[in-house]
Structure 1
Amino acid sequence: MRDGRAMIAAMAPRLDPRSWRFVLVSPDTAPQLLGAAIGTFREDEGVTAIVPTAVAEELGIEGPDFARITLMVHSDLEGVGLTAAVSGALAETGIACNMVAAYHHDHAFVPTGDADEALNVLRNLAASWK
């Protein structure tokens, strides 16, 4: 789906019960982190992996924990407006948001303590565009 308005209305946000941590991969942690990662990104400074909090803790890697909210609409990678609407609605309520786009869905990572409020914000956003 490419139409922004339709994507927002149909996003059907779903909260993942697990918590996630963004971590920097090092040579000694690469096998465990990359094997458990749901996403990675290579930057000039290194490789970031998004891994279950439990995996990061087992390796002694500190950091904030995030809840993942998956937007269940099959969004088009060339669609316009969904990311802006989601991040904007969350920003208006003071909730930090890290968006990750994958082939079928977009995912909003929010601080775990804000997960329920963020889910409600996104449900209300979708309902307001129907």
Structure 2
Amino acid sequence: MTGEHDIAVLMVTLDPVLDAETWVFVTLDDRERADGIAARMRFEEAEGTTLIVSEAVALAEGLDAVFPSRMITLNVHSALDAVGFLAPIANRLAAEGMGVNPVAGFFHDHLFIPAHRADDAMRTLLEMRDAARDGMSG
């Protein structure tokens, strides 16, 4: 269960899935409070605990949230040490004027895209996958 390393295989089997939820990023310097908040992701930094939480949770908890985003899961099992998979994706999204915050899980990579650009990001990812497929068949 180490995941795929071959970038060509990863690109042709890319199956991006857009999550319906709107996610936001928050930071807390109170780790005990952070422990009590339902989060999609948690990361400890020297400055505090970064959480990715639903917009609804942030509002309910009274948290100062930034970067309203939608999560796109790249539904292909990429190896954690696969070299060069996210770079062309991030570069292409940047060329389309989109910032992206990638998060690697054990099985998949997840992209947090500005909420208002989610459909554009999905279109771009599908275009990239289709171009990779065309390149393999041509």
Residue 77 of structure 1: aligned partner = 80
Q: In percent, how many aligned pairs have the same letter?
A: 36
* Deviant stretches of 4+, over 2 Å: 25-29
Between the aligned partners of 2:12 and 2:18, the Cα distance in structure 1 is 17
Match of 1:29 among 12, 30, 33: 33
Report the TM-score, using the length of structure 1 for normalisation.
0.92
Matches within 5 A, 1:25-64: 25-27=28-30, 29-33=33-37, 36-62=38-64, 63-64=66-67
Between the aligned partners of 2:105 and 2:95, the Cα distance in structure 1 is 25
Between the aligned partners of 1:46 and 1:8, the Cα distance in structure 2 is 35
Between the aligned partners of 1:57 and 1:26, the Cα distance in structure 2 is 18
Q: How many positions carry a matched residue from both structures? A: 128
Pairwise CA RMSD = 1.3
Residue 130 of structure 2: aligned partner = 127
Residue 86 of structure 1: aligned partner = 89
Task: Give unmatched runs, 5+ long, in structure 1.
Answer: none
Of 18-27 and 49-58, the range deviating more from structure 2: 18-27
Structure ID, larger Rg: 2
Deviations 1:39-86 (A, max 9, x none): 111111111011111000112223231100000001100111211021
Task: Give unmatched runs, 5+ long, in structure 2.
Answer: 134-138
Is 2:34–2:49's contact at 8 Å kept on the other side of the alignment?
no
Deviations 1:79-123 (A, max 9, x none): 112110211110010011001001000001011000000010001
Residue 116 of structure 1: aligned partner = 119
Between the aligned partners of 2:12 and 2:127, the Cα distance in structure 1 is 10
Q: Which residue identity is paired with 2:118?
A: A
Report the TM-score, using the length of structure 2 for normalisation.
0.87
Is 2:26–2:50's contact at 8 Å kept on the other side of the alignment?
yes
Is 2:29–2:47's contact at 8 Å kept on the other side of the alignment?
no
